[in-house]
Structures are given as structure tokens and as C-alpha cells.
Amino acid sequence: MLQYISQGKTPKDHLKNVENACKAGCSWIQLRLKNEDIATYLDTAIQCRNICDQYHAIMIVNDNVSVAKAVLADGIHLGLNDMNPREARKILGDNFIIGGTANTLENCIQHIEDGVDYIGLGPYKHTITKKKLSPVLGIDGYTNILGKLKVINSELPVIAIGGVTEKDITTLMQTGVSGIAVSGELTNQVNLEKKIETIKKLMVQKLSANR
């Protein structure tokens, strides 16, 4: 699973980057707008929904449950300080994908209990896309947490997030993660289609080797 988390200085930039990613072969998009009023967020989300429909991509909205419901997004991604996943499930229903951010084993276990569909575990390393960054995990952090989740027989997909680049993927996939979420790595790339193809191949190779 490869997820593109939208990036841009303006909502228009976000939409342009989302379309570029979809056009180049990314089929899982998270719209992540910060510091925008609700009307702007809603309008941008409607346009993002149309783009994702055009390219048959999954659309996830970051943080805002009401926007996700209004635009009939495929799901919502909730940060540690956002609405509880149980509450979001009551509002959105069983057919919505609900993802949750985690930084520790305890976060992961709480998400499992709250019934999320996937965990976004990170940050892997420093990233400029988040102002309030949780402690960086690195490979040792992922190995430790994923190992303990395996012990309790958790099969919930865990996505690596936060500063991930192409050269990190092979090592990260060896920890047992199910996928990768990237932002800057897919923004303003010269040959985006080749970049996405390479990332997908690296992920598939490691997933196959781990089975």
C-alpha cells in the first residue's frame, strides 16, 4: 500500500499534486489541509473526490470527520489529538476506512481496541510537513513495535509514515510494515510515474519475501 499525503502552499497546489500523483499511478490519497477555513476545506475536498474518482483512487480526509462525510470520502485519518476512532465510526458508519496515527506501542494497542482499519506509525525520521513532531522512531523503533504487535497476533495493517524516502523502503519493509505513506517524496518530482513504479516494486518485493 502506497499512500500519498497531499502537500502544497495553497489548496490549489494540493489538488494539482494530488492529480499528478493519481495520474502517475498512486491509488491511495490522503487530503491533508491545515489552517484552512471549513468552506475552503470542503470545496477542496469535493474537487479532490472528483479527481480520485476519475483515477479510481481511494480518498482519505485528514482529521475532519464532517468533511469526510459530506464529500463521501472513502475514509478518515485521525491524529492522536483528533476525534476518537469509536466516535468517528458512529458518525461515518462501517463502510468508511478509519486510520489512526501512532507513535508508541501503547498508541497502537489503543487503536486496535478502538477498531481502526489501519495504523499510520511514525515518524520514521524528521519531516518538515508536521509542525508538532512526535519522537522519531527510526528503524529500531519500528522493529521493536512491530515485533511486539506480532507477539499479540495483531494483523492490523501498519503504514510507515514521516520522512520516508525511496532509499528507506527496503529496510522499512523488513520490519513488517504493510505499506508506506509519503508526501515530499512524490511532490514536484520530474519523473513521478517512474518514481511511483520504483517504490511499488520495492514494496512488493519485500512483502513477497516476508511471506
What domains sit in the chain, N to C, each tagged with a CATH number? 2-210 (3.20.20.70)
pLDDT above 90: residue 129: no
Percent of the chain with pLDDT over 70: 94
More confident residue, 204 or 13: 13
The residue ranges of DSSP E strands in the chain, in sequence order, are 2-5, 28-31, 58-62, 75-78, 97-102, 118-121, 158-161, 179-182
Q: Which three cell numbers stand for residue 40?
A: 475552503
Q: Is the pLDDT of residue 127 over 90?
A: no
Residue 98: exposed, middle, or buried by beta-carbon count in 10 A (0-12, 13-18, 19+)?
A: buried
User: Higher model confidence: residue 102 or residue 207?
Assistant: 102
More confident residue, 134 or 173: 173
Q: What is the mean pLDDT of residues 116-144?
A: 86
Question: Helix, strand, coil: what percent of the chain each, to 5?
Answer: 45, 15, 35
- pLDDT at residue 200 greater than cutoff 60: yes
C-alpha 50/C-alpha 53 separation (Å) is 5
Per-residue confidence (pLDDT) for residue 185, from 0 to 100 = 94
Q: What percent of the chain has pLDDT over 90?
A: 89
Mean pLDDT of 123-148: 85
- pLDDT for 189 equals 87
pLDDT of residue 188: 85
- List pLDDT tens digits, range 151-172: 999 999 999 999 999 999 999 9
What is the mean predicted confidence (pLDDT) over 174-181?
Answer: 95
Please give the model's pTM, rounded to 2 decimal places.
0.93
Of the candidates 118, 108, 130, 117, the one whose C-alpha atom is nearest the C-alpha of residue 183 is 130
Whether 39 shows a pLDDT value over 60: the answer reads yes
Helix, strand, or coil (residue 59): strand
Report pLDDT for 128.
63
